[in-house]
Amino acid sequence: MPTVEQEVIAKRPEPLTDASRPFYARRSLWGLLSYLALAVVVMIQLWISPSGRVLAANDNDHGFFLFVLAHGERVVFHGDNPFFTGRMNVPDGVNLMANTSVLALSVPFAPITHFFGPGLTLVLLLTLSLAGTAAAWWWVLRQFLVRTQRAAWIGGLWCGFAPAMVSHANGHVNFVAQFVVPFIVWQVLRLREPGRIVRGGVILGLLIVMQVFLNEEVLLFTALTLLVFIVAYGAFAREVVKAAWRRFVLGLGVAAGTALVLLAYPLWWQFAGPQSYTGQPFEPGKFVTDLLAVGAYARQSLAGNGVVARALSVSPTEDDSFWGLPLLVMLVVAAVMLWRTIAARAAVIAGVVLLVASLGPRLRVAGHDTGFPMPFALVQHVPIIDLVSVTRFAMVPSTIIGVLLALAWDRAPELPHRRRVAFWAGMVVALVPVLPKPLPVVDAPPLPPFIAQRMWEQYVPDDRTLVSVPVPEVTSGRTGMRWFALSGLGFAVPRGYFMGPANPPVNRTGSWNAAPRATADLLRIAGAYGRMPELSEIDRRAALADLTYWRAAVVVLDPATANHDLLRTILTYLIGSAPQQVGGVELWDVKGLIHPAG
């Protein structure tokens, strides 16, 4: 029976002669440079001012990843714990293993963060991750699955710059950095080969460890996809499975053992360490793929329409399908061309299964819940599955599309002339409309001298915090998160935007907010709605208790904050004194009012 390689292609690429090597190298270089150039185009508006602009579609996560990159710098240059920080959400801290802290990127790139700031590191990582994911798929496709450079380039282009990838480039470094995935896939498939049990298992285990420190959700998607692929392939090629299953299972065992040995301590931090949590702050079926989204265009595609995309998508960061009708037609053509190939057939099945999963427990069409039950309803509460945002399952078929397009392009020369020309024309019509546009950005408020010139050092001792108003939360206090990150986490802050237990020890369900505090809620609501609350001595005592809990040294209000005058009035009442004007901010020094314990 044929192997997977023999099922996918008739032969591997021809060995290179000495004469052909320079030409091959030049074509490879130009192909890789084209990926990098396109990635720069996508991120160009942020490149213009990495620390002075934020991604317009997702300033929340932009601020969060500035924070985790600054934390990576502190791990390398200050010896901080990589899995936990006490500098945010004082006094409870933040469990960084239980958050998407991208340690596999933040730590190696710490020198860039140290010398140039997290803003530059963020745009650099987003750019390299787009190009790197495309390049990784290009390399695997070219080495093992297709015979031509052009076919591999097409596959890599789609895998690196599909609408889902460009959508997540709005701040989701963890979802854009998928350059390890193609190597995981290939190493899993190679485990069936003789002599690969130990060596292949160890290599796969190390790749799994790296992916854990990039994004565990992507690793879960990859594992589920491979499971479906292997089951489907085994159903079509039972003799192949019968001959290789022992080697395959033993290799997986070596990989699992290697990964568990290296990940045991980090995973303890994630699931049992301080500020660990269980579950998500939303039902598994809340964010799902709209059926019509598969034939529409994403807002960041050339043919995209923002009005249509908003009606069919969870948010600008979650355009996880949006392939367009012409591409759906070409997928049918590709499936017909490749259907005799068992591996391609199994890949199609895996893509369809994960696409159906992304539709959630009930079918949604044109933004409306039809109530029609879907298969995902059977597994939506299974542990681990209930931790993901369901619409992201559509990222799997999006990647499989790239592989199928590469395989079909590779087979196209075998078609009769007219069909070949029609195929190439169809590919152009399908791919050009989904090419990406530059991501939109907005200018961020400039750092006040109090932060930029580190004036805060005169007011905030190491054991106290700087309380910016509104206090940093998932939906407010973005300025405070940005100050904190761009200062290199130089001062400690209460609360913040992160995942942690909702209200421990009573409620350990995951939440995007710190445990409730009366003063934080009061300031957040007043700042958001511009309404003066009825204040009393009870509120003043609560404010004193909260500032004590937060170990506050100063409370800082930026004059550019929305509803600034209202917030200043509230703070003046709660603290009992008027603010000082220091370095472009209004400041209340509260060190004499509170004496935090510990």
Written as one string, the DSSP assignment of 154-218 is: HHHHHHHHSHHHHHHTTT-HHHH--TTHHHHHHHHHHTTSTT-HHHHHHHHHHHHHHHHTT-HHH
CA 322 to chain CA centroid, nearest Å:
18
Give me the pLDDT at residue 23, please. Answer: 55
Residue 443 counted as domain residue: no
Residue 382 counted as domain residue: yes
Q: Are residues 347 and 470 in the same domain?
A: no
Residue 597 counted as domain residue: no
Final residue of a structural domain among 400, 434, 468:
434
Quick check: helix, strand or coil at residue 569? helix
Q: Are residues 255 and 383 in the same domain?
A: yes
- Which residues are CB-contacts of 497 (< 8 A; sequence separation ≥ 6)? 60, 63, 64, 67, 472, 473, 474, 477, 478, 481, 512
Residue 444 counted as domain residue: no
Q: Are residues 373 and 471 in the same domain?
A: no
Residue 464 counted as domain residue: yes
Rounded CA gap, 285 and 270, in Å?
24
pLDDT, tens digit, for every residue of 466-496? 999 999 988 777 788 999 999 999 999 999 9
- Which residues are CB-contacts of 263 (< 8 A; sequence separation ≥ 6)? 209, 212
Adjacent-strand bridge partners of 443: 53
Q: Are residues 348 and 476 in the same domain?
A: no
Adjacent-strand bridge partners of 554: 466, 589
Q: Are residues 401 and 484 in the same domain?
A: no
Q: Are residues 498 and 390 in the same domain?
A: no
Give me the pLDDT at residue 372, please. Answer: 95
Final residue of a structural domain among 411, 434, 457:
434
Residue 6 counted as domain residue: no
Residue 112 counted as domain residue: yes
Say yes or no to pLDDT of 10 above 70.
no
Rounded CA gap, 53 and 41, in Å?
16
Token code pair at residue 569: 């009035």
Q: Categorize the per-residue pLDDT at 4 as very low, low, confident or very high, splitting at 50, 70 and 90.
A: low
Q: Are residues 315 and 408 in the same domain?
A: yes
Final residue of a structural domain among 374, 408, 434:
434
- Which residues are CB-contacts of 548 (< 8 A; sequence separation ≥ 6)? 594, 595, 596
Give me the pLDDT at residue 403, please. Answer: 97
How many CB atoms neighbour CB 106 within 10 A? 28
Token code pair at residue 16: 């290179």
Q: Are residues 469 and 363 in the same domain?
A: no
pLDDT, tens digit, for every residue of 357-386? 999 999 999 999 999 999 999 988 888 887
pLDDT, tens digit, for every residue of 21-46? 565 667 788 889 999 999 999 999 99
Residue 345 counted as domain residue: yes
124: amino acid identity, one letter: L
Q: Are residues 384 and 486 in the same domain?
A: no
Q: How many domains does the chain have?
A: 2
Q: Are residues 234 and 270 in the same domain?
A: yes
Q: Are residues 353 and 465 in the same domain?
A: no
Q: Are residues 361 and 486 in the same domain?
A: no
- Which residues are CB-contacts of 535 (< 8 A; sequence separation ≥ 6)? 570, 573, 574
Rounded CA gap, 524 and 120, in Å?
30
- The closest of 508, 505, 542 to 523, measured between CA atoms, is 542
Give me the pLDDT at residue 11, please. Answer: 40
Rounded CA gap, 106 and 116, in Å?
13
- The closest of 31, 62, 8 to 482, measured between CA atoms, is 62
- Rounded to the nearest integer, the mean pLDDT of the chain is 92
Note down the domain range covering 457.
449-589
Instruction: Specify the higher pLDDT residue, 559 or 338.
Output: 338
